């Protein structure tokens, strides 16, 4: 199956470079390019891509607003947003994650990691393992939020095992790592993750992690020097 990608960035040279790289892969193809957030939303509705590479800073409607818009639309529930960032503004990245972004890549990402990242989020997983992303989660996602993704009482719908797996996922552990810790198969772990996502109306694994932090299942690490 070919993974369909939409590029949303106002830097034409970067977009052209990404297109050449992505289109060179037999299982990936670029279906559209957007120069701002509003155009990204419009093109997403037309093409229904599997993955959107979304820059945060763009003229007009920025990537944060576009991500929130895209991730709130039922007709785009299968579309995943992968944020392109230089990590200059951690708070903005955290807002994008809360809005439904499935992961983050730096704009200086290597070709291998870019392609791997696209495939990862297209498969319904998330880019939570890189140190920079874990740092963002630790610093921001447990802070009070006016609009939590799931009310605390909904966590009562989870089984003890689903809650345990969700907590380990929130620590940045992969399915294989969780399976090794709990002495179960990675397939069983994936099943627990999927059940927890369904019960909590989480869009993907990343939102499941956000919910874990927002509801205190995992505490953030203190910032350096605090």
pLDDT at residue 224, rounded to an integer: 47
- Residue with tokens 């993974």, as numbered in its chain: 3
Q: How many CB atoms lie within 10 A of CB 215?
A: 20
Going by C-alpha positions, the residue among 154, 119, 152 that lies closest to residue 5 is 119
Phi-psi label, residue 225: left if phi above 0, alpha if psi -120 to 50, beta otherwise: left
Of 80-84, 112-116, 150-154, 200-204, the poorest mean pLDDT is in 150-154
pLDDT at residue 29, rounded to an integer: 97
pLDDT at residue 102, rounded to an integer: 86
pLDDT at residue 189, rounded to an integer: 92
The residue with greater pLDDT, 23 or 223, is 23
Q: How many CB atoms lie within 10 A of CB 201?
A: 11
- Whole-structure pTM value: 0.74
pLDDT at residue 130, rounded to an integer: 45
- Residue with tokens 């920079």, as numbered in its chain: 132
Within a 13 Å sphere around the CA of 61, how many CA atoms are in the beta-carbon half? 17
pLDDT at residue 141, rounded to an integer: 58
Query: Binning pLDDT at 50, 70 and 90, where does residue 31 land?
Result: very high
What percentage of the chain carries pLDDT values higher than 70? Answer: 83
- Calculate mean pLDDT across residues 79-92: 76
Query: Binning pLDDT at 50, 70 and 90, where does residue 184 land?
Result: very high
Query: Binning pLDDT at 50, 70 and 90, where does residue 129 land?
Result: very low
Of 68-72, 103-107, 142-146, 196-200, the poorest mean pLDDT is in 142-146
Q: How many CB atoms lie within 10 A of CB 114?
A: 20
Of 106-110, 165-169, 218-222, the poorest mean pLDDT is in 218-222
- Which tens digits make up the pLDDT trace of 130-151? 444 555 565 555 555 556 677 7
pLDDT at residue 39, rounded to an integer: 96
Query: Binning pLDDT at 50, 70 and 90, where does residue 226 land?
Result: very low
- In this predicted structure, the answer to whether residue 101 has a pLDDT above a threshold of 60 is yes
Any residues with CB less than 8 A from the CB of 190 and at least 6 apart, and which?
175
Q: What rounded mean pLDDT belongs to the chain?
A: 84
Rounded Cα–Cα distance for residues 8 and 59 (Å) = 11
**Cα 76 to the chain's mean position, in Å?**
14
């Amino acid at each position: 199956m070919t993974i369909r990608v939409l590029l949303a960035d106002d830097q034409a040279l970067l977009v052209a470079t990404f297109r050449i790289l992505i289109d060179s892969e037999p299982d990936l193809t670029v279906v559209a390019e957007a120069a701002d957030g509003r155009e990204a939303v419009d093109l997403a509705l037309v093409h229904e891509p599997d993955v959107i590479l979304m820059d945060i800073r763009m003229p007009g409607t920025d990537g944060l607003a576009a991500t929130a818009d895209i991730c709130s639309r039922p007709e785009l529930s299968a579309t995943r947003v992968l944020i392109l960032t230089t990590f200059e503004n951690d708070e903005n990245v955290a807002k994008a994650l809360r809005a439904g972004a499935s992961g983050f890549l730096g704009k200086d990402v290597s070709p291998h990691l870019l392609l791997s990242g696209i495939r990862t989020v297209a498969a319904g997983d998330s880019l939570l393992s890189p140190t920079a992303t874990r740092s963002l989660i630790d610093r921001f996602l447990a802070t009070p939020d006016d609009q939590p993704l799931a009310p605390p009482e909904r966590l009562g719908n989870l089984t003890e095992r689903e809650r345990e797996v969700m907590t380990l996922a929130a620590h940045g552990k992969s399915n294989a790592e969780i399976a090794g810790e709990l002495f179960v198969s990675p397939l069983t772990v994936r099943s627990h993750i999927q059940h927890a996502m369904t019960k909590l109306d989480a869009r993907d694994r990343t939102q499941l992690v956000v919910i874990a932090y927002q509801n205190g299942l995992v505490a953030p690490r203190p910032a350096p020097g605090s």
